Each structure stands twice: as C-alpha cells, then as structure tokens.
RNA sequence: UGCCGAAUUGUGUAACGGUAGCACACCGGUCUCUGACACCGUUUGUCAAGGUUCGAAUCCUUGUUCGGCAGCCA
C-alpha cells in the first residue's frame, strides 16, 4: 500500500509467477535514445521507467543508441546523452550498444523473411506508395507483392551492393494490405540511402526501418520488456510479427506508457532547436531550457529530477504536469542540502547612525538550519550594510512588516535595528536608509524579550563581493504553448531572463566553484553558472525562488 | 467515419466488488531569527445513461469526449 505498483510492474509481477512468460528470468530493459538531440525532462521519465524498473527487479538496463537513420543522427550527441544519464545517476556497466552493431544480423533476418515468403522487394516510388496506401475502406496495393522469392532475394542483395539509387526500391514485409492498422499494410522494412553513417561509414547503403530494427535489437540483447511511449502502441502488432517470424531465442514484450508533458514549456526537439536558432535562448544548455543540461546549469539536482519523475506515476493517458511540481521537488532537495548565504540582489545602503564609525565585529551564522552538522560561519558587520531595497518602504503597505520609519526588524544573526529615516536623491529615489541599533540585542535576541516580527538579510558594505545574478522566469506565458491550434512562438515570455549586475554577496562566496548551489536567504536557490562564473566575475543563476506568501495589498 | 488506446477534484495519480485516498497548486490558520521550512485545516472529483449486485470508480451494454496511427522518421 505504501507504494502501489504501476501498471507495468503489475504486468511484470504476473509474468514472473510460475508459468509466466519470464518466470525465473532476470528482468532486462533498455533505454534507446536516437542520437539526434539532447535529452530533456521528458526523457527523465523514460529513464526512470527503463532504468528504474530494472533496478526495482534487481535486473539490468542497457543503453542503446538507436542509430538506424544516417540522415538524422550524429556522434556529437552520443557523449552528451551518456553524460546526462550518468549525471542523473544511472549506469549501464559495459552494456552500451549501437543499433548499427546489428546491421549484419538484421540483414540476415531480412533474408530469412524473404526466404519464408514474408518479405519482398517493392519498386514503388515513395509517391506511388503513398497513393496506393489505400484508406480505411480500401486496401493498399503493390504490384510487386507476388514477386518470386528468388527475384526478391536477388534484388535485395543488389540493393545492398549499391546497384540502385535512393528511393528506387524497398524491402517490404508481406503482412496484410487490408489491415485496419496501417502499420501492417506491408510496411517498408529496408530503404536505400547512400549516405555515410556516423558509425558504419559507407559500409551500408540500405538501412532498416525502426519497426523492423527495434524488435531485433531487443531480442538480440535479451530484453524482456521493451518499454516505450504511447505512440508505438499501434506498432506493437508489427513488433510481435517480427519477433515471431525470425529465428531468435527470446521474444521481448513491448509495453507502452504515456509521455510526460510539462506546463509552460515545449519538449519537441524541433521546437527547442527552433528557439535556439531564433535566438530566444542561447543554446541547448540555456538555464531556461527543459533539457537535462539546461536544468543542470540552472541548478537542478539529480535527486530533484529523480523524485519528480518517480512521483509523477506511470499511466496510459498523456499528461501535462504542473511546472510548479518540478520546482517543489527542487526546493525540497535543496532545503535539506544547500548551504545558506546572504546575498543582496537589489541593494540599498543601510546606515546605523549610532554604531561607532570605523569599528567592526563578527557574528556566527548557521550554514544550514536543516542540517545539524553543517556548522556555522563568520560574517562581519559594520556601520554600513547593504539590504534588499524591497525590505524597506518609506510608506508601508498594509501588513508589511519589514523596515519602515519607526519599525524594528532583526538583521539576521546580528542586531535589532529601528528605522529612523531615509535619504533621497533629486528624483526622490531612496539612496540610503538610516536606523539605530539596540546594543543589547547582540546575536539577534532582545534583552527584554520583545518579539521582533521580521528578520531580514544583509551584507557588510565593507566586506563583500559583487556578483551578477540571473533571474529566470517561465519560457512561455501560457501553460500549454504546444496546443495544436496555436503557434507556440506567440507565447514566448519576453521577460524570462532578468540580469542583475550589482548584487552584493557575502564575502565567502568569492570562492564559489561552478555548479555550487546555495540558498540565498529569503530570495531563493542559486547555482554558480558553469560557463560564465569565475572568481573575478561571479555569476549565479536562480534555480527557483523561495515560496513567498507575502501578498501586497 | 478503419484500427488501437484512454477517461477519478485545477494538475498528476491511488483504490483491482466493500469508508473515494495521496502529492502539487489554491485558500485559511499555527509556528518561526528565512513572510522559507514544519504543522493543522477548508473547498473541489469517479465522462453520461442504463444494467448486474446487499453493495460499482471497479463488472456488462450503449453513448459521449479526448489521444494515437495512415514517412522509404524514431
């Protein structure tokens, strides 16, 4: 009851019972990305299901590049994909494969099918084939269907030998031209493509189609459960047809699950690429991107993504999960583990009128109240500090209980101060806030026990470092920019990035390393940018803000 | 309209013939040296109509709605 099984696990449980299909066997899955783009948060769900299910049953999961189409794939994505998966904490030991490793075997299986009278070489052009596909009431047609086996054999060998140009002919499975399932209307299983492949070079000029290749890849690797997304559901009969008609020892089972959608973003590679090309984002790893490398650069942790994926559940209805849930999972993880620091994003000077000029002192500040072992650090304090401009209002709004003339607040871990006045420039902007401090409140507690409603963060103006802060917002202004009847580019959020140059940071942050994560008190969780941050020029990305229940007016 | 699949609160899911539960979001409150975290609470749901049954989200029938397939993509 604690954690109920999803429908895939229920199926596996059944099959594992005595007499079941995989009784006594080790559960074996695979994650088969096509190396033509970067992994995104949607893949994290597939990773969770493929690797996670294997782990749960103490089984194995292979990583396999599904590289059967040389026009789309490239080696450049392979390493990035491996890195992202490792980053998430999954591993495949020595079971890393390319579908292209099986090209020779696939070819032999194709010959087997021809010999069994279950495949034939068809000379229809792509246009002709489409025209002869038929419709819901009319069966498809191929004039080459009853070609003698010997002839198909000869032609198929010559296809491989490179005698024919692209598109000239195909190898088709002989199944059912009248099937209501169009995937079964004698699907093409080999096409000619005179293009070098990123792995096999010019060795081949014919390439197997997914529907033929995938079940073979699974069968050859001893995969017991081939878990894939819903759009392959109507391909399952073909998957089964292939494994049942070729000579393989194990017959894997395909089970489909719903893809993950997420609000306020798009996940199609095409659309993500278009946003890069349009300059809306800076690249695949732009911190606003839903790619794994983008989320990583933004400050997301593997644990947060893992929890998100695991808690979304597995079903057969396509779902769109609220982005807020992903954010929740990040806060949850970082709240427990992130080092705290004080950083003033939009500074205004606070001058303590009754604090001795030129003097200074140190306070101990907790590194993480959620972690007893995190210890404390020293923070210096002097007459002039930086505070958040939002933490002062000359004329306070209702229910505002931070700094305003006459009000007391606590400076985190330091003193209680009382606001007395503020300075303005010629335009009326506040240039400095004046206050007095209560010397008896050293450390933050009042001597007379009076309650201080608000505690604000601060930075010593005489001992701090400057930094650049990048604040991010949703990429799209609407929950589902992906909906069919609209153009997603119309909903780009023009304010998805705000750059703050002159933030004032606690001194120790100057030693920050790329990808270090912090909670900046009261403003959110931040991550040192992996590309742009250096000790000379600190750059922090806000991964997610803290929740804020203060609502003006 | 051929074939396949799916419908449980705003969102995502659980309940497998026996009290419709959980998480996020929302709203309200308690607590607080982070208006965070934590804790407590309110509101909101079984697509529809029939049927079987002592009892139906669950089984049956019909209907409705939504998604997928009809690339020499995966």
Determine if strand B comes within 7 Å of the CB of A146.
Answer: no
Predicted confidence at residue A2, as pLDDT, reads: 42
Contact A123, A144 (CB under 8 A): yes
**Arithmetic mean of pLDDT, A177-190:** 96
Is a pLDDT exceeding 80 seen at residue A436? yes
Q: Choose among A552, A521, A544, A550: nearest CA to A411.
A: A521
Distances (CA, A) of A413 to A60, A360, A457: 51, 15, 9
Q: Is A269 one of the annotated active-site residues of the chain?
A: yes
**Arithmetic mean of pLDDT, A532-537:** 96
- Rounded Cα distance, A285 and A293, in Å: 5
The residues near A79 (Cβ < 8 Å, ≥ 6 apart) are none
> Which A residues between 246 and 265 have a beta carbon under 7 A from any strand B atom?
258
Report the largest interatomic distance among the alpha carbons of chain A, rounded to a whole angstrom.
Answer: 102
* Helix or strand holding residue A65 (H, E): strand A60-65
Q: What tokens does A116 get? A: 């069994």
Q: How confident is the model at residue A537 (pLDDT cuts 50, 70, 90)?
A: very high
Contact A424, A430 (CB under 8 A): yes
Is a pLDDT exceeding 60 seen at residue A198? yes
HSE-CB for A157 with a 13 A CA cutoff = 8
Chain mean pLDDT for chain A: 96
**Arithmetic mean of pLDDT, A478-487:** 84
Total count of residues recorded for chain A: 553
Q: Is A259 one of the annotated active-site residues of the chain?
A: yes
Q: Is A21 one of the annotated active-site residues of the chain?
A: no
Q: How confident is the model at residue A86 (pLDDT cuts 50, 70, 90)?
A: very high
Distance A218 CA to B20 C1' (A): 41
Determine if strand B comes within 7 Å of the CB of A80.
Answer: no
Q: Which H, E and C letters describe A358-375, residue by residue?
A: CCEEEEEEECCCCCHHHC
Annotated catalytic residue, options A133, A259, A418, A507: A259
Question: Which pTM value belongs to this model?
Answer: 0.96
Distance A410 CA to B32 C1' (A): 13
Q: Give Cα A254 distance to the centre of its chain.
A: 25
Write the ipTM. 0.96
Is a pLDDT exceeding 80 seen at residue A1? no
Helices (H), ranges, A116-207: 126-131, 149-161
A308: helix, coil or strand?
A: helix
- Rounded Cα distance, A152 and A352, in Å: 92
Helices (H), ranges, A312-365: 323-337
């Amino acid at each position: 009851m604690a954690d109920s099984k999803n429908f895939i696990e229920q199926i596996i449980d059944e099959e594992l019972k005595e007499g079941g299909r995989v009784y006594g066997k080790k559960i074996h899955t695979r994650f088969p990305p096509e190396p033509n783009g970067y992994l995104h948060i949607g893949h994290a769900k597939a990773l969770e299901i493929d690797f996670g299910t294997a782990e749960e049953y103490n089984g194995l999961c292979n990583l396999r590049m599904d590289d059967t189409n040389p026009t789309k794939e490239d080696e450049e994505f392979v390493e990035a994909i491996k890195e992202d998966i490792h980053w998430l904490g999954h591993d495949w030991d020595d079971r890393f494969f390319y579908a292209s490793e099986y090209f020779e075997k696939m070819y032999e299986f194709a010959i087997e099918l021809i010999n069994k009278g279950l495949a034939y070489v068809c000379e229809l052009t792509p246009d002709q084939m489409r025209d002869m596909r038929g419709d819901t009431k009319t069966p498809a047609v191929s004039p080459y269907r009853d070609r003698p086996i010997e002839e198909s054999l000869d032609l198929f060998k010559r296809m491989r030998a490179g005698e024919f140009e692209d598109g000239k002919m195909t190898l088709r499975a002989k199944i059912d031209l009248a099937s209501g399932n169009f995937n079964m209307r004698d699907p093409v299983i080999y096409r000619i493509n005179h293009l070098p492949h990123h792995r096999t070079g010019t060795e081949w000029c014919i390439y197997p189609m997914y529907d033929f290749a995938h079940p073979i890849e699974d069968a050859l690797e001893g995969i017991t459960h081939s878990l894939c997304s819903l759009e392959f559901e109507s391909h399952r009969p073909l998957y089964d047809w292939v494994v049942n008609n070729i000579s393989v020892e194990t017959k894997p089972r395909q089970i489909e699950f719903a893809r993950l959608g997420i609000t306020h973003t798009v996940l199609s590679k095409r659309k993500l690429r278009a946003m890069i090309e349009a300059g809306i984002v800076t690249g695949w790893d732009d911190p606003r991107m839903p790619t794994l490398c983008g989320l990583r650069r933004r400050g997301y942790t593997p644990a947060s993504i893992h929890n998100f994926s695991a808690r979304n559940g597995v079903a057969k209805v396509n779902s769109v999960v609220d982005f807020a849930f992903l954010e929740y999972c990040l806060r949850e993880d970082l709240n427990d583990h992130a080092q705290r620091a004080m950083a003033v994003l939009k500074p205004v000077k606070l001058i303590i009128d009754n604090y001795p000029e030129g003097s200074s002192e140190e306070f101990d500040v907790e590194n993480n109240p959620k972690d007893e072992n995190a210890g404390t650090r020293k923070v210096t304090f002097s007459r002039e500090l930086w505070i958040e401009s939002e933490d002062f209002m000359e004329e306070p709004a209702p229910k505002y209980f931070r700094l305003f003339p006459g009000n007391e607040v606590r400076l985190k871990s330091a003193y209680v101060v009382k606001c007395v006045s503020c300075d303005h420039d010629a335009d009326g902007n506040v240039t400095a806030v004046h206050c007095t401090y209560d010397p008896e409140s050293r450390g933050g507690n009042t001597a007379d026990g009076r309650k201080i409603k608000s505690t604000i963060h601060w930075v010593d103006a005489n001992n701090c470092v400057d930094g650049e802060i990048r604040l991010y917002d949703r990429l799209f202004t609407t929950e589902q920019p992906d909906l069919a009847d609209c153009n997603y580019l119309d909903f780009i959020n023009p304010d998805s990035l705000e750059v703050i140059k002159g933030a004032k940071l606690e001194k120790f942050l100057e030693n920050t390393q790329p990808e270090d994560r912090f909670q900046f008190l009261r403003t959110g969780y931040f991550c040192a940018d992996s590309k742009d941050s250096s000790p000379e020029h600190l750059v922090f990305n806000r991964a997610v803000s803290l929740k804020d229940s203060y609502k003006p007016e």
